[in-house]
A and B are shown apart, each in its own frame.
Chain A
């Protein structure tokens, strides 16, 4: 029997697969396709201090092997999420990770501490890397000292383990990872989307109303693998990997690069059943490449110098 279970701070995962933040709402829509209890965990759509309406449309565009999005963190706000969404997910036998975002340190602190009011959430994913929100203007995700500051504040405000979600839009990803580890992060989550743009020929203007959007999907997988591979060698905290995962082979590749669990985003749009299909295919895939468990494969792709 192949063992799919993974144990991470705050998370006893029965398997390493979870839908990525923003690609699965709060689970309701996908619960009509399959039992969410099959998933290792669910990462919820970002929560902010108060509700946000998000960006004007168009908010998405298709690219070669991927897509751009600039949703702009549309969400009802942390209180409504705790009241209306968390209990729904809490009824399933799966772990819940709350993705939190904000424009100011105060907003992050408020969202993090508000999640203390429910005992149904198992961990926080601290989104310091959303490229699609302009207000506030502070780019927590690209400045190591700001990333450190927001991590410290959220750690202090929350009783839950904190996984900091890193932005790939930086020159030195290892520096960012080390900064948030030093600030007390319990884990990392990587990668968020890569900032991109598409120009619509008939109108001669950027297609996405926000002008830029975040690139996701298979196109970004090699970037994610490279960054996880680099970071894994310099930090001791576990990594939840993501970026272009669409099948069990991709999951194994992320494990080999150093991820301990894997989130699936854009692939849910092409195939709403992608997560359960990956979970079903994972034992056979691990066996085929000589592994008896998920934990055995973590970091095995890293060549010692």
Chain B
């Protein structure tokens, strides 16, 4: 779908975990056209560069888009102060999302921290296609955990914290054996986590979603690139991605 510059009306702002904000936004075009894994390139007042934030959920009837973001720096700090009724503009739906064609397969969703959000809308979409879903969600500590019940409603869900303060202890990769059989996986999270997953699952088909500092967000400026696995150049995260086949890029 074509990227447009859209006006997002904020409907609710909720603090759902440590420094983690859930924001429900109203916008017709994006709610009708976005697919899981796509993102909004949000303009934040006072900032030269837009901020990429994944689409975490969509309600097509209410024409709303949910985003979840962590307050990490100046831009997300400012966005977190926005109140219901306020608006901001976003380019979207941006990027290439998770393509899912197979029904009735078993999928493993592996999310790390603020990489969890895009997997929720993906999981919901897969559940509607009658797929089996198993989720492994990794967080630093208990206070960072969010959306556990929502993922549980989609299928078996493991929560793992690095310090063991909630759920299992360790990293998401420590839990993969417990997840049982799956046909392919979808993952989003920090690069070290994605690296650990792709090297642990070298032969499984998988799609991973990547992050990098972006400029234009539409594929023109060549800022957010990742080397191709074939060593022959770069892929653009904002427009070729952010979702790639696990074996397509060199992490």
Contacts and interface: CB of A to CB of B under 8 A. Distances in A.
A289 to B, nearest CB: 26
Given A33-B5, A59-B213, A67 B48 contact: yes
A63 B73 CA distance: 12
B35 interface: no
B71 to A, nearest CB: 15
A16 interface: no
Interface in B87-128: 91
Given A30-B218, A66-B48, A266-B48, A53 B2 contact: no
A225 to B, nearest CB: 19
Nearest to A64: B48
B220 A71 contact: no
A238 to B, nearest CB: 27
Measured as residues with beta carbon below 8 angstroms from the partner, the interface class of chain A is 35 or more
B174 interface: no
B43 A23 contact: no
A57 B227 CA distance: 10
B225 A54 contact: yes
Given A32-B2, A33-B5, A60 B218 contact: no
B50 A269 contact: yes
A32 B221 contact: no
A25 B222 CA distance: 8
A266 B50 CA distance: 11
| Residues of B contacting A: mostly | loop
B223 A71 contact: yes
A25 B47 contact: no
B217 interface: yes
B233 interface: yes
Measured as residues with beta carbon below 8 angstroms from the partner, the interface class of chain B is 20 to 34
Contact of A23 (B3, B5, B221, B225): B221
Contacts of B223: 57-60, 69, 71
B213 A22 contact: no
Interface string B184-211: 0000000000000000000000000000
A278 B219 CA distance: 22
Most buried by A among B91, B213, B217, B224: B213
Interface in A154-209: none
Nearest to B214: A60
B218 A272 contact: yes
Given A30-B218, A74-B222, A67 B49 contact: yes
A23 B222 CA distance: 9
Contacts of B220: 23-25, 28-30, 268
Given A59-B223, A71-B223, A74-B225, A270 B215 contact: no
| Residues of A contacting B: mostly | loop
Contact of B212 (A22, A45, A58, A270): A58
Contacts of A59: 213, 215, 222-225
A269 B233 contact: no
B53 to A, nearest CB: 15
A102 interface: no
B43 A270 contact: yes
B225 A268 contact: no
Contacts of A24: 220
Interface string A54-80: 100111111101110101001000000
A58 B218 CA distance: 17
Contacts of A214: none
A187 B5 CA distance: 36
B229 to A, nearest CB: 14
A273 interface: yes
A217 interface: yes
Interface string B209-251: 0001111111111111110000001100001000000000000
B234 A269 contact: no
Given A71-B221, A74-B225, A269-B221, A54 B47 contact: no
Nearest to A65: B48
Given A60-B215, A269-B215, A54 B234 contact: yes
B213 A61 contact: yes
A57 B249 CA distance: 14
Contact of B239 (A23, A29, A60, A67): A29
Nearest to B221: A23
Contacts of A65: 48
B218 A29 contact: yes
Given A71-B221, A71-B222, A62 B47 contact: yes
Given A62-B47, A62-B48, A69-B215, 11 more contacts: A23-B220, A29-B219, A29-B239, A30-B218, A45-B222, A57-B213, A57-B225, A61-B213, A74-B222, A74-B234, A217-B48
12 contacts: A22-B222, A28-B220, A54-B225, A57-B213, A57-B226, A60-B215, A60-B224, A62-B48, A69-B215, A74-B234, A269-B217, A272-B91
| Cβ-closest 7 pairs across A and B | A25-B220, A60-B223, A29-B220, A29-B218, A58-B213, A74-B222, A269-B216
